Amino acid sequence: MSTEYAVEPLSSSRFPEAATLLARAFQNDPVIASILPGILPEKRAHKLAVMFEEMLAVNSRWNEPLGIVDGGAVRAAAILHRPGTHPLPLGTEIGLLWRVVRRIGPRGLTRFIRWSLRIGRRHPTTPHYYLETLGVEPALQGRGLGSAMLRKIAAVLDAAGDECVLETANDRNVVLYGRFGFEITREEQILGAHVRFMRRRPVM
């Protein structure tokens, strides 16, 4: 691994790899654990990989996923929605859920929909970016890849002059996002997880 991490759009040929990376990164996330309770981590990772693969493919119609490819492999990936591209059109959202359910079954579906509705309600009504997903290969976490991704994302946001929102249920992530200008706007218990809603205003 080099220490200078280039953050670039990920090509579609990289999506399956990015999806398994995101699945590994998120398999112990508190929100995922409450959407898919009582499932062994490996099985949860498989379900997540399918979900992320479908999400990457669908969202790439509007937004190219960002990532770090280093040593020939995807090491970090993010889905950042531009203003007006989230939530997806209803028909597209239903199609996405249908494909995921067909591949991995309906378990967690009701909870996932409840989660999506609860967070969607809290998003601003004014134009904004939405950082839906950011993950780093677990073995490489804590080495600056996530910060490199956020530096690039902050540059995109400042160039566009737009706000960005995200949510997280992880205390350490709150600290990391705070370093890149995100502030907590609201805290809520959702599906048993302590969710922090965060917003970043652009630096002009």
| Spatial CB neighbours of 58, under 8 Å, sequence gap ≥ 6 | 88, 92, 95, 96
Among 141, 162, 201, 202, binds ligand COA (CB under 6 A): 141
Among 168, 182, 193, 195, binds ligand COA (CB under 6 A): 168
Residue 173 sits in the site that holds ligand COA (CB under 6 A)? yes
Q: How far is CA 115 from the centre of its chain?
A: 14
Apex 67 CA angle, 86 and 97, nearest 5 = 40
Token digits of residue 131: 């950082």
Closest C-alpha to 67, from 76, 58, 59: 76
What's the closest the beta carbon of residue 173 comes to ligand COA, in angstroms? Answer: 5
Residue 48 sits in the site that holds ligand COA (CB under 6 A)? no
Bin 185: left if φ > 0, else alpha if -120 < ψ < 50, else beta.
alpha
Total residues in contact with ligand COA, by rule CB under 6 A = 19
Residue 67 sits in the site that holds ligand COA (CB under 6 A)? no
Among 18, 23, 25, 33, binds ligand COA (CB under 6 A): 25
Residue 191 sits in the site that holds ligand COA (CB under 6 A)? no
Distance between CA atoms of residues 136 and 184, nearest Å: 22
* For ligand COA, the closer CB: 101 or 191: 191
Token digits of residue 66: 């960002």
Residue pair 5/77 in contact (Cβ under 8 Å)? The answer is: no
Reduced to 3 states (helix: H, G, I; strand: E, B; else coil), residue 33 is helix
Cis preceding-peptide flag for 30 (omega within 30 of 0): no
Among 89, 124, 142, 161, binds ligand COA (CB under 6 A): 142
Residue 172 sits in the site that holds ligand COA (CB under 6 A)? yes
What's the closest the beta carbon of residue 141 comes to ligand COA, in angstroms? Answer: 3
Residue 60 sits in the site that holds ligand COA (CB under 6 A)? no
Residue 29 sits in the site that holds ligand COA (CB under 6 A)? yes
Residue 134 sits in the site that holds ligand COA (CB under 6 A)? yes
For ligand COA, the binding residues (CB under 6 A) are: 25-26, 29, 134-136, 141-147, 168, 170, 172-173, 175-176
